[in-house]
Structure 1
Amino acid sequence: MFFHPMDFLIIIALGLAMWAQSKVQGNFRQWASVQAASRMTGAQAARYILDQEGLSQVKVEFSKNGTLSDHYDPSAKTVRLSDQVYQGTSISSLAVAAHEVGHAIQDSTNYSMLVLRHRLFPLANIGSQFAPFLFLGGFLLGLTNLIGIGIALFAGAVLFQVATLPVEIDASRRAKNKLLEFGMINNNEEKGIGKVLNAAALTYVASTLMAVLQLIKFIMIFRNRR
């Protein structure tokens, strides 16, 4: 009943997402064993870049949520780094720490796509929670309008993911540039930084593609039912 030819593309996108996630973990592990010549920890690198960018008010804290739980909290103006990144002196540690600082820099400059992403978050949150129930209710009860409402809410969640993609890519670009600009990595280490950051970006590409394909599938089903 719920099978649709678009499912083949979604399965391919899902496979790509799983491969990308394994690529992230693999690249992180590989370059986590390579010490940066600067011997700076991720926390030190984050603090240095923030201070150089005039963001001394942004805090750098240890995150207790486990491996690769690193993130920037805009409400608390805090960069939170996992144990391996916070204390690590590897290429991976510097790459991830600088990436999160990239988000803090975006926040301080009101980077347009980050602003859009923040504005879309409430809609995306509602869409991700209620759209599946509206889809299911619409199909079971034969209520096409209910499916349409579900699609509208799901579209908000997809738009949030689409906006996230350039935000993440831009943060990685800023990360690499700042690490080079402030001499925290040399030209030989740039390759490792790029591999860690590019693998992470690929996960966002795959998840965005999957979400867009799912939205197209639901729209096609909606049109056919009407």
Structure 2
Amino acid sequence: MYFFDPMYFLIIAPALLLAFIAQMWLKSTYASAMKKPAPLSGAAAARHILDSAGLYDVSIEQIPGHLSDHYDPGAKVLRLSPDVYQSRSLGAVGIAAHEAGHAIQDAKHYAPLVLRNLAVPTASFGSGASWILLLLGMVFNFKFLMLAGIVLFGCVVVFQLINLPVEFDASARAKRVLVDLNIVPQDDMPAVRNMLYAAALTYVAATLQAVLTLLYYVMIYASRRD
């Protein structure tokens, strides 16, 4: 299996390098943005953005964890980590605005978000079951099991590809609304932009790794004899 195959790591090396660069950039820009003051806390900024969009029914909750921030479309809840919820910093309002952007996407039935939400169950199942089918297919030389595993992992790749425009659009909305609502002065926006660009790069790296992993699976399948 690819866990022990040097060829796998050779194939995904570009994605691993990109992920490392993205994580280092995100860590640096996040730390820098969290040190720069903002007029509102992350929670207050998110509430202002949601209310300005007419989303009074979307609640905001504080949850434990570091960078565990996310929007739950099923519960209509924006959940923020303690640092983001409480901090009056550019980093906090930037992340909060990004998550509020997902809530606005949901309210406007943004097509890629709708597709992503529909794909979540299949992608979740595929990420766990695909390698099991591939392993069984390789051990017993059942190419139909390997093909089934490839198809399932293909669903994961499709999910990752759909997720990219969702995340990019949420960041674009965040940058726009922070200025439009005077939450962040224009002169302070570079710190927010850099942090959101770094976060976006982590999604690109994850997608690239999924695509290259799928390529590896296809190569293994093609090399097997019936």
| TM-score (ref. length: structure 2) | 0.95
Q: Which amino acid aligns with 1:54?
A: G
Q: Report the equivalent of 1:224.
A: 223
Shift of 1:218: 1.0
Shift of 1:61: 1.0
Question: How big is each residue's C-alpha offset from its partner over 1:159-189, in whole Å with a ceiling of 9 and x where there is no partner?
Answer: 1111111100000000000001111111111
Q: Report the equivalent of 1:45.
A: 45
Paired with 1:129 and 1:90, the residues of 2 have a C-alpha distance of 38
Q: Report the equivalent of 2:83.
A: 84
Query: The residue matched to 2:71 in structure 1 has which SS?
Result: strand
Query: The residue matched to 2:196 in structure 1 has which SS?
Result: helix
What runs of 5+ residues in structure 1 fail to find an aligned partner? Answer: none
Runs of 4+ off more than 6 Å: none
Query: The residue matched to 1:72 in structure 2 has which SS?
Result: strand
Q: Which amino acid aligns with 2:63?
A: S
Shift of 1:70: 0.5
Question: How big is each residue's C-alpha offset from its partner over 1:39-59, in whole Å with a ceiling of 9 and x where there is no partner?
Answer: 210101000010010000000
Paired with 1:4 and 1:162, the residues of 2 have a C-alpha distance of 26
Q: Report the equivalent of 2:110.
A: 111
Q: Report the equivalent of 1:15.
A: 17
Paired with 2:183 and 2:98, the residues of 1 have a C-alpha distance of 14
Query: The residue matched to 2:161 in structure 1 has which SS?
Result: helix
Paired with 2:8 and 2:62, the residues of 1 have a C-alpha distance of 43
Shift of 1:6: 6.2
Paired with 1:137 and 1:14, the residues of 2 have a C-alpha distance of 27
Paired with 1:6 and 1:18, the residues of 2 have a C-alpha distance of 17
Query: The residue matched to 2:167 in structure 1 has which SS?
Result: helix
Contact 1:45 1:184 (C-alpha < 8 Å) held by counterparts: yes
Contact 1:4 1:217 (C-alpha < 8 Å) held by counterparts: no
Shift of 1:5: 5.1
Contact 2:58 2:76 (C-alpha < 8 Å) held by counterparts: yes
Paired with 2:164 and 2:11, the residues of 1 have a C-alpha distance of 20
State the identity as a percent.
Answer: 44
Q: Which amino acid aligns with 2:51?
A: D
Q: How many equivalent residue pairs?
A: 223
Q: Report the equivalent of 2:141.
A: 142
- Structure 1 position 61 matched with structure 2 position 61: yes
Contact 2:116 2:163 (C-alpha < 8 Å) held by counterparts: yes
| TM-score (ref. length: structure 1) | 0.95
RMSD: 1.4
Paired with 1:132 and 1:18, the residues of 2 have a C-alpha distance of 24
Contact 1:43 1:87 (C-alpha < 8 Å) held by counterparts: yes
What runs of 5+ residues in structure 2 fail to find an aligned partner? Answer: none
Q: Which amino acid aligns with 1:14?
A: L
Shift of 1:12: 2.3
Question: How big is each residue's C-alpha offset from its partner over 1:179-223, in whole Å with a ceiling of 9 and x where there is no partner?
Answer: 011111111111011011000000000010010011112112212
Q: Which amino acid aligns with 1:139?
A: M
Closer/same/farther in 2, CA of residues 152 and 4 from structure 1, 3 Å limit = farther
